[in-house]
Structure 1
Amino acid sequence: RLRVAAIAAAAADPLRFDLSEEAVLGTARTLIPTLVAALTPARYVYRDEGSLARRLWGQLSGRSADEAALRVLDTALALLVDHDLAASTLAVRVAASARAHAYAAVSAGLGVIEGPLHGAASGLAHKLIMEVLDRGDAGPVIAEELRAGRRIPGLGHRLYPGEDPRARVLFELLEEIPHSAPALAAARDIVATAARHTPLHANVDLALAVFTASSAMPATAGETIFAVARTAGWIAHALEEYGERPLRMRPSGHYTGPRPPQPLPE
């Protein structure tokens, strides 16, 4: 829905090729709420219903939002805005380098974020937590993941030798919410059990999974939160790239395959 909404919003904006800072910032102010409004089929018209976190909560959970839960969601949105040159952000900058408009640049990022090693990782962690809660023990769940040769979702990050600092912030806030306790305990069990195999720490995907699993949200909610938040960062990166030399993100390839069986004709 997010990808389709971005494309539809572009088609409805005849001035989308205006790459000036004022125009691109205007795109951000309308695109992000439009993405949130497009998450359920019954809400095609955008209405101001308070903060972005409150509107997003209403699209992802059937449970009433309390201030503590909204604070976690609002904090997650802030923490996930930007994170160095992640794969999706690099895709956005490549698109902007070719002077694609902001909607197209965001669409490039949304395409990459669907990968299980990027935005979709929180959904896999959500399912892992739900399975641990169902079985009451992380041991057999982690054992099955390892036996299948799968990476344990929600653990480890190439930028952090220790715990992901974004995860630490979210875990501290989640500890203040009583109904998050079972999912938090499951997450700790996952980390402790996996540590017997390899010493990996919790990352932001596991923290997001604890939040979505304890907030009556679907497994895909973490990826959605990630994408909505990162859209703001992507547009900031696109704006920076528009100020650089066009097509500077164009690498050159070097052929290393087999040589032709005979010399090519001159």
Structure 2
Amino acid sequence: MADDRIDAKTAADRLGVKPATLYSYVSRGVLRRHFDPDRRRSLFDPADIERLARRGKPRRRAAPTEIAIESRITVLGPDRPYYRGRDALELADTHRFEAVAEWLWGGELTDSGPWRCRLRAVATARAVQYGLPTDLAPLDRVQIIVTALSVSDPLRFHLDPGAVTATARTLIAGMAEALPPLSEPAGPTIAEMLWSRLCPHPPESDRVLKALDTALILLADHELASSTFAARVAASVRADPYAVVGTGLGTVGGPMHGGATRAVERLLADIPDRAAVPRVIGDLLRRGERIPGAGHAVYRDADARGAHLFEQIRRLAPDHPKLLAAEAILTELRIRRQPEHNIDFALATLCAVYGLVPGSGEAIFAVARTAGWLAHAMEEYAGGTPLRPRALPARS
């Protein structure tokens, strides 16, 4: 059967649509996609394509806001993303964040680290934080840092791929380096630098740092998530890389996006021990509230990214009280037939187990996703058409 499957171009030609439209059919559940890991491509059953062709273009009852954009960066599988055809989970097991970022930007899986930001730029970004409240959320600081770094970079308007890639390395490094240090960094990698800014004590082992690096990789891109779409819109009108990242940061902090980890952090902080979990979850459901960190808009069955990261934490700290509470929450979700947990839940658990400061999860999310935003920006810079959605007349 697999030998009879056709590639995306052939399927799109048969349907008379663009490849982006073909993948929008996949995201709607209208068409099933099969991923060929050996040749890193999508395949389709010709019988499914023929049935769809005979039926005509499918219409979705409630999707007036759906926008399809052609991209080679990330394809979403049934439970995980594929970065330029490579399984993100496998990349997380075998490479560092820096190498995966290079793969997203240029298709070369090479570790270009250690990355460093210019000393004067970091000094400026630290200076503008003087006088801010000490308990300011890390994401708020990151937004200020990106603005400060931008005005210190005279080359920020250079939009060729080499210049943007160089900016991306120094920008991500600066986002970590300019945060107030809480402990001595264990080394020069982004994971090590970020840990020393978000945790008041050093990591217990290299395996713990690897868990943070895994989180960074798994969060580096997720196709056209809200912040990525916003970043692409900015890039499509030739906003510079710092402005693109600033646009993404303005979106990612929303409670339905990268800010979702804050709700999970609060949930874990409010649970004194695992015995209290049934009561806490029951109270949330009785009030009609959703369980933070449960379910995903794209992965209907399970978010493999969350399961992968959570399993790492389980191996590292199997008896930690916060992990036991998190596991009790997962058990309660299954008992009550609630959706499975997602990457936000696993990330917040990592932060809770290792005592990272409140709000660390969304800062980690933002630093990681910067790699994806700039990969998408480079695609837009290579094009020549601004993204300009049109409004539909409102129904009276």
TM-score if structure 2 supplies the norm length?
Answer: 0.61
Q: Residue in 1 aligned with 2:129?
A: none
In 2: Cα distance, 1:60 partner to 1:179 partner = 22
- Post-superposition offset of 1:180: 6.2
CA distance in 2, matches of 1:42, 1:215: 14
Change (3 A) 1:219 1:179: farther
Does 1:9 find its partner at 2:179?
no
Cα offset for 1:245? 2.4
Residues 29-178 of structure 1 aligned to structure 2 (within 5 Å): 29-40=169-180, 49-65=187-203, 66-134=205-273, 136-178=275-317
**Which of structure 1's runs of 4+ aligned residues deviate more than 4 A?**
none
Superposed CA offset, 1:173-215 (max 9, x none): 1122136632222122212223444431010011011100011
Provide the alpha-carbon RMSD of the alignment. Answer: 2.1
Letter of the 2:215 counterpart:
A
CA contact (8 A) 1:125 1:153 kept: yes
Q: Is the 8 A contact 1:99 1:246 kept in 2?
A: no
1:220 aligns with 2:355: no
Q: How many corresponding residue pairs?
A: 254
Kindly provide the CA deviation profile for residues 35-89 of structure 1, in whole angstroms up to 9, marking residues without a partner as x. Answer: 012222799xxx9942111111111111221212101001111111011111000
Q: Which has the higher contact order (CA 8 A, sep 6+)?
A: 1
Q: Distance in 1 between matches of 2:312 and 2:234?
A: 36
Report deviation, 1:136.
3.5
Partner of residue 23, structure 1: 163
Counterpart residue number, 1:253: 391
Q: Structure 2 regions of 5+ residues with no counterpart?
A: 1-140
Supply the distance in 2 between the matched residues of 1:191 and 1:15 (Cα, whole angstroms): 48
2:367 counterpart of 1:234: no
Deviations 1:110-142 (Å, cap 9, x if unpaired)? 000110011111121111112223574211211
Q: Is the 8 A contact 1:137 1:189 kept in 2?
A: no
TM-score by length of structure 1 reads 0.89
Residue type matched to 1:252 in 2?
R
SS class of match (2:223): coil
TM-superposed CA distance for 1:107, in Å, is 0.4
1:203 corresponds to: 342
Maintained 8 Å contact 1:191/1:200: no
What corresponds to 2:130 in structure 1? none
